[in-house]
Amino acid sequence: MSLNTSLKGRLRNTNLPLTHGLAPLFEAVVNSIHSIDERKRKQKTFNDGKVTIKILRGPQLSIDETTKPEIKGFNIIDNGLGFNSENYKSFQTLDSEYKIDLGCRGVGRLLWLKAFSKVSVVSVFEENGIKYFRKFDFNALNEIHNESEPKISTENISTTIKLTSINKDYLKYLPKTSQIISRDLLEHCLWYFIRSGGAPDIIVEDTDGRISILKMFEEFMIDASSPDSFTLKSEKFEITHVKLKSSVQNKHSLFFSAADRVVKEESLLGKIPGLFGVLNDGDSDFAYTCFLSADFLTKNVNSERVGFNLRETGDGLFENHEITLQEIRKKSIELISKYLDQYLSLNKELGVKRLTNYVDNNAPRYKPILKRLSNEEKIVDPGISDKELDIKLHSHLMAFEAELLAEGHDLMIPDGIEDKEDYTRRIEEYLQKASELKQSDLANYVAHRKVILDLLGKAIQKGKDGKYSKEEVLHRLIMPMQKVSDDIRFDDSNLWLIDERLAFHNFLASDKTIQSMPVTNSVSNKEPDLLGLNIYDNPLLVNDGESMPLASITVVEIKRPMRNDAKAGEDKDPIEQALGYLKRIRNGKVKTESGRLIPDSQSVPGFCYVICDITDSIKERCNLFNLRVTSDKLGYFGYNENYKAYIEVISFDRLLNMAKERNRSFFDKLGLPTK
């Protein structure tokens, strides 16, 4: 009993991803190549095979003539053997085995109907020395219809496949230009051009001209090697190495193929150490591509030829018997690495140099993990950005920390049968690793300080517009605005720029009204008005010390670089302004953050820092407050008995210089440059 086949059912069970909308075209072109090959075998004098692809477009709807009309379909015309009796019978049989030796599965026409609603075929062929004409239409609803009986013809041998009424879902992902369609077609049919005997001339015609795929291949091609091979579980695989001109191809790819067709493309970037950007063979720059083929792949390609019926990885019962994609990929990359090794030495050298220079000069916190990286892990893309390199190194550091954490937990539960010497050795090894990690943390902290100092140096310079940075920029550099100590992490503030002791506080507020600070108990309405007028003049308030007798208040006032308008009055004199803040805070009776009053608030020591450039008006105000000039002439200092406050006026240059001097020895230890 014979079984009936449902075309609709087969179409429903045929998978064609929306991004593979050109697959029907590729199938038709490969069929044309096979038809031309078949004619060559039967007609020894025939050697002028040709395939023409006409892109069918709709009417021009846009007034912009550079915008091409929408693609409606394709005409594929070839001068191969055509739809003679044998080929036509094969076409009428789904899953035909007529050309199975060529890797054909008789499913190409199903892909046509997945993406296109209408297929028309017109063919002039020769049988027994006589030319015949045959035509028919093909669709999912009527299957083969409008069929004509073969008639004698005087036309030249040729076959036209017309694919029209494209499914809109596929149209969305279809390339819009003939250049991209031609490039994709060349990639798919690459093997036919590389093979002995080459491929027929393939022409793509569009409204703006013609593209020869053969000429495109010649422009691409530099060299193709003899196939390399490897064996997996008695199955033989072959790799053909191809060098393509980098001016038209800049990616390095591995193509998995079946039946001389590209099925799967994988990028090689990140899989072979040193394979970055274009390569050079001494004569020219090139991009690397290879073509992986095997009878095994042909046997295991899925029916739509868009993937393989193979497991990605193997485990369990059939682990030692199945061949997985992972195994194939691994062996392929081994051969590819060996082939490319002669071209990668410079890239490897530059990659290692890029990594080590970055760690030495920008990220010394990663120095402890460098020796833990393998030689291959040290090879990075010489053109990698600092951001990407930092992320890559951080991932290694995190892996190191996770390993150390797991090892530490294991050490807490000694093995009952482990002797004391082995356990002691494991502890020593663990402590050595832990020490290295802490060195990394310290290096990161010091490197952060170097960055902040570099930023400060730039912030106090005159910009290209001839202006200096506003107070806001400098304020944020020292401490985030509109924050209190509970809102931020320790590392978020850079109070060490002013005084290392400021890092140790019980309460810290930045750009907040005095009334809103829980440690002040102040109800003064003056401060909000002043803050509202110039929010960048707001202070940093620090209540230091948990013990009552050690309490102190520190106010920091920041002004714009080179500001020269200081005069009497709290709104114009930064020294008066800082002392005014101090007075209001004391009058409100100072409390700890937990709400306990500090006895005798008026006697709580005050420290007022004014950060500004020493302009003429600032010098005058410092002299009026009887402040003494510093030895470097870049600041003033003194004690005001009336306010019981130590006052220090620090220029931005002095602030930067002192911070550099305090940290110079750390920078030197890490090899960080200082100016």
Helix/strand/coil (H/E/C) assignment for every residue in 88-108: HHHHCCCCCCCCHHHCCCCCH
**Domain C-terminal end among 173, 199, 217:** 217
C-alpha to C-alpha distance for 470 and 631, rounded to whole angstroms: 28
Classify residue 389: in a domain, yes or no.
no
For residue 110, the domain's CATH number is 3.30.565.10
Long-range contacts of 40-44 (CB under 8 A, 24+ apart): 42/81
Q: What is the pLDDT of residues 104-114, one digit of tens each?
A: 445 677 888 88
DSSP class of 660: H
User: What are the residue ranges of helices labelled H in 221-307?
Assistant: 295-300
Q: What are phi and psi of 537, to 5 degrees?
A: -90, 5
**Exposure string over 117-149, b if 16+ CB within 10 A, otherwise e:** ebbbbbbbbbeeeebbbbbbebbbeeebeeeee
Classify residue 150: in a domain, yes or no.
yes
Classify residue 328: in a domain, yes or no.
no
Q: How many C-beta atoms surround the C-beta of residue 79 within 10 A?
A: 21
**Exposure string over 43-78, b if 16+ CB within 10 A, otherwise e:** eeeeeebebbbbbbeeeeeeeeeeebeebbbbbbbb
By C-alpha distance, which of 466, 458, 493, 445 is closest to 652? 458
Give pLDDT < 50 ranges for the chain.
1-3, 98, 100-105, 524-539, 544-550
C-alpha to C-alpha distance for 604 and 589, rounded to whole angstroms: 10
The total of structural domains in the chain comes to 2
Query: Hey, what are 340's tokens?
Result: 């490319």
Identify the pLDDT of residue 531: 25
**Domain C-terminal end among 156, 190, 217:** 217
Query: Hey, what are 572's tokens?
Result: 């114009």
**Domain C-terminal end among 217, 232, 263:** 217
Q: What are phi and psi of 517, to 5 degrees?
A: -85, 120
Classify residue 154: in a domain, yes or no.
yes
- Which residue in this structure is represented by tokens 């846009």? 62
C-alpha to C-alpha distance for 653 and 457, rounded to whole angstroms: 8
Q: What is the pLDDT of residues 219-251, one digit of tens each?
A: 888 887 778 899 999 999 999 898 888 765 568
Classify residue 461: in a domain, yes or no.
no
Classify residue 342: in a domain, yes or no.
no
C-alpha to C-alpha distance for 582 and 571, rounded to whole angstroms: 15
Rounded to the nearest 10 degrees, the angle between the axes of helix 213-220 and helix 178-188 is 70
Print the domain residue range for 632: 471-665
- Measured CA to CA in angstroms, residue 637 lies from 41, 250, 278, 542, 653 at distances of 101, 64, 62, 20, 16
By C-alpha distance, which of 253, 256, 250 is closest to 242? 253
Classify residue 251: in a domain, yes or no.
no
C-alpha to C-alpha distance for 540 and 333, rounded to whole angstroms: 60
Q: What is the pLDDT of residues 2-48, one digit of tens each?
A: 445 667 767 777 788 888 889 899 999 999 999 999 999 899 889 89
Classify residue 315: in a domain, yes or no.
no
